[in-house]
Chain A
Amino acid sequence: MFIKWIAALIIAINANTRAGEIAAGAACGFLLALLPAGNLLWIALFLIFFFTKINLGAEFLFIALLKLPVSLLAGLLHGIGYFVLTQPVLQEIFTALYNIPLIPYTRFNNTVVMGGLITGIVLWLPFFFLLRLLVLLYRKSLRDKIAGSRLAARFRRLPLVISIARTAQKISGIYAG
């Protein structure tokens, strides 16, 4: 599965997929990686992202890649979340939110969830722009060089890559050569 996601991302980068889509997918993956799973907020965000035009492969890959490092930042996220959740000016809002049906299942009152959400929202745009820039740079500078290399040729001949490429072709009409 992991390799599938990597392959899908490589194909997307090298195809006509918009750089914004790839970057958005990665940024959403980053946001979802920051949030602990198993709550309604994570599921809701995932569903929202599911219905937007982002690269799901990039999203899944970045969730998988960033999950472990993010868990090391639990303390920082807890601190941020605790700070936000204990702000007196926000207590009324949070209390009202907490008493809305289903909202408690988002676990927004958890410090790590809130910290991850705040951090993810704040860093989403920078991450998006960074990734978009990287993709554009890659497409501009590196893609042609790599595409012509023997490694790329071998990579393209991998059965997995072929199957993903065919699938991608059905959707995007990329030339698989």
Chain B
Amino acid sequence: MERNLIEKKAPRIFRKEFSDKKFNKTVLKRINIKEEQAFLLSVFQKKTNGNYQLIDTLSTDQLKKLKNLAKIIKKNKGVIQRGKLSILLLIIGLIIIFNLFIRDKLLERAMEKSLQSVFQARAEIDHLNFALFRGQIAFQHLLVADKDRPFKNLFELGRTEISLDTLQLLKLKIIARNVECQEIRWNTDRKVSGALDFSEKEATDKKQEPAAAAAGEKKGIPALPLIDISTLLGEQINNLQSMTEIAEVKSQLAELNAKWTQSLKNSEEDLKKLSASVESISQIKVSSLNSLKDIEKIKTDITQTEQALKSVKDDAAAANRLLSSDVSSIDNRIDRISANIDSDLTYLESLIDLSSGNLKSILSSIATGYLQENLGRYYSYGIKAMSYAASLSEARKNKVKEPSVNRYGQDIPFPTTQYPKFLLQNMAFSIGSSQSAQFLEASLKNLTSNPDLINKPLTFSLTQKEQERQLLIQGEIDSRSNRRHDFSLIMAAVDYPLKVREGLELLNITSLDGFYTFSTDFTLDRDGAGRGQGVLEVNRVRLDTPDSRNIIATAVYDAVASAQVITFKLNYEISTDKQLHLNITSNIDNLIMAEISRKQNELSAHYRDLLKAELSERVEAELAKNQTLYSALKGLQHSSNGNLAEVKSHEEVVAARKEEMDKRINELQSQIEKQLDKVKQSLPSLPSF
């Protein structure tokens, strides 16, 4: 019993039997103080089998000493401090369990509670994942209710993640691998009430319309002249060949009339005189003439009359020829007047030239001003963005730091991924859902303080969708030493409203509304010069109805109204001294020119008709005045012809009478000869001498 009691009280390590070897190894060798070794030997007895065992009788002091010695023996065993290690492993285990099962939930609850305390409404977070060592916090969904409207959410976030490189953070370098927040939405519906307590005003999202364009470049449009045809004719009357010709013809007709009237009068008088003689000759009964003497006398009269008639005839013929010639020349001049009228018309038409001059690119000119302002604005945005990106860049030290050797040694560098002081690899956010009518998505990649180190340019993109409108911007800003371009941009805007209020006074209209689709790509080189090209399409254009008297404005209106789409193709360059040179061509320019030409042609034709009518009227009036004189001259010519015919008829009469006379004379002569013969026959023959 006493033995049992000792065994119960003695430290467990001493309760068993030890072999000699084991006793030395596990007990004696772990005690260094000789006295204590002696004490142990005193309290252990060696049995007959050579084993050591505790003695049966032990005092309280001995037991106490044994306990202390047991502790020392236990302490002197092993290499690892199990107690401390156990605690460490326990702590590590707890941390692991915490991280695996509790951490995320705890953090989720904590965030929900803090959001609820801030917004005084229910907050919900789904699938939160927090990885401290990876420097990442992410969640799939977060929503915060609106305290004023329990069944609406104040805002909602989709997948959100912030991921930092913690190792680089320890080196005081901020390397953000990913910063994104997708599908940011406001005012969405809730199925369950989320109200807790207070109200908060809902921010209205007033969308800014793209600013209306400023005035187009003011370019002078030549005004089409309003022409008074009567005034024009009055001014040019002296330059008109036809009118001059008419006047000359008139004076000539007057002269000729005067001249030939007198001439014909004289001629008629001569003829009258001869007519009496011819009349008396024609009344001669030749058959009743039996006297040669009478016959000869009459023949002499006839001969004289014949000669007089010949003279008159010659004069009349000459006069007739001359008069005919004069009439003919008048006719020629009258014919020339028609030709002159045509050339005068041509001349007058040249004075009412309505060519539009420099109107070819009228809309392009207006568009130039609008685009210059907008492109200039985007250019300045680009320059600002570049300056912000450049300001992030570390000062590049040209001097390579030589590793110094001192008592702290020298760091031998090994190849490894170098990181800059700051790097944002990806940042993205979106508002709304891609399926919804309104959606905005933006991203920024590789924003860094040392672009050469990562060897990637900064890229950005923006996509906005709003009903039918879409805006897409993609670009990059390159600050690397080996870059080709400083800045490049691709932009497309689809179906944006267009409101132009300035620069249209040239066309006498006050507003131009419509919708445009614009796409462009632009690069800016290292020397500051840039170039780009683009297309601007304008459709569903509405203009003020212009004043119908303004041909240009009307032509523009008609051309624009009839065109489905107005397309501007532009090429622009920015010189190194920051001057923007814009070159625009448009499909509408040809339409406008065609319309203007058509209207000009119509107006020209109208003026020509007016001119022709007025000129004809004036010429006709002048010609009417000449007609009387001409008729008179023609009458004279007719009279001259009549005189000539009369002379001819008188000649015929006289010639006939003369012939008759000659016949009669012959008859009488033959009668006389017969009578003579008879006499001869009846007479004795005379002596011949």
Given contacts A16-B30, A53-B75, 20 further A-B contacts (CB under 8 A): A16-B33, A16-B72, A17-B32, A18-B76, A19-B32, A51-B80, A71-B407, A74-B406, A74-B408, A81-B409, A94-B412, A94-B414, A95-B416, A99-B414, A107-B411, A111-B409, A112-B407, A171-B75, A173-B71, A175-B33
A103 to B409 Cα, complex, angstroms: 18
Whether B411 and A52, one on each chain, are in contact in the complex, defined by CB atoms closer than 8 angstroms, is no
**Bound CA–CA A85/B75 (angstroms):** 41
User: Which A residues, 96 to 135, have Cβ-Cβ distances below 8 Å to chain B?
Assistant: 97-99, 101-102, 104-105, 107, 109-113, 115
Q: Would you call A173 and B68 a contact (CB within 8 A)?
A: yes
CB of B81 within 8 Å of the partner chain:
yes
Contact of A53 with B81 in the complex, beta carbons under 8 Å: yes
Q: Do A74 and B407 have beta carbons less than 8 Å apart? A: yes
On chain B, the residues within 8 Å of A110 by CB distance are 408-412
Give chain A residues whose Cβ lies under 8 Å from the Cβ of B31: 16
For the complex formed, measure the closest distance between the CB of A75 and the CB atoms of chain B, giving whole angstroms: 8
Chain B positions 289 through 332: 1 when the CB is less than 8 Å from some CB of chain A, otherwise 0: 00000000000000000000000000000000000000000000
Interface presence of B683 (CB below 8 A): no
A16 touches B79 (CB 8 A): no
Determine whether A15 belongs to the interface, using a CB cutoff of 8 Å to chain B. yes
Q: Would you list which residues of chain A between 68 and 104 have a CB under 8 Å from chain B? A: 71, 74, 77-78, 81-82, 85-86, 91, 94-95, 97-99, 101-102, 104
Cβ of B650 to closest chain A Cβ, rounded Å: 146
Shortest CB distance B63–A (Å): 13
The smallest C-beta distance from B680 to any residue of chain A, in angstroms, reads 181
Q: CB within 8 A of A53: which of B30, B79, B415?
A: B79
The answer, yes or no, to whether B118 is at the interface (CB within 8 Å) is no
Any B CB within 8 A of the CB of A139: yes
Q: Is the CB of B72 within 8 A of A172?
A: yes
Interface hits, B378-433 → A, CB 8 Å: 405-417
The smallest C-beta distance from B99 to any residue of chain A, in angstroms, reads 17
Q: Please give, as numbers and ranges, the residues of chain B lying within 8 Å of A25 by CB-CB distance.
A: none
Which residues of A are at the interface with B, using a C-beta cutoff of 8 A?
15-19, 21, 36, 50-53, 71, 74, 77-78, 81-82, 85-86, 91, 94-95, 97-99, 101-102, 104-105, 107, 109-113, 115, 139, 144, 171-175
Q: Which of A71, A99, A171 contacts B416 (CB 8 A)?
A: A99
Q: Bound complex: CA of A101 vs CA of B417, how far in Å? A: 12
CB distance from B95 to the nearest CB of A (A): 16
Complex CA–CA separation, A15 to B72 (angstroms): 10
Complex Cα gap A112–B330 (Å): 131
In Å, the complex CA distance between A174 and B85 comes to: 25
Question: B36: which A residues are within 8 A, CB to CB?
Answer: 16, 175
* Contact assessment for B71 and A172 in the assembled complex, using a CB-CB cutoff below 8 Å: yes
* Residues of A close to B549: CB separation below 8 A: none
- A85 to B13, alpha carbons, bound, how many Å? 51
A51-B85 in contact (CB<8A): yes
A–B complex contacts, Cβ < 8 Å, 19 sampled: A15-B32, A18-B32, A19-B32, A21-B76, A51-B81, A51-B88, A52-B80, A71-B407, A74-B406, A78-B405, A78-B410, A82-B412, A98-B414, A99-B417, A102-B167, A107-B411, A109-B411, A172-B75, A173-B69
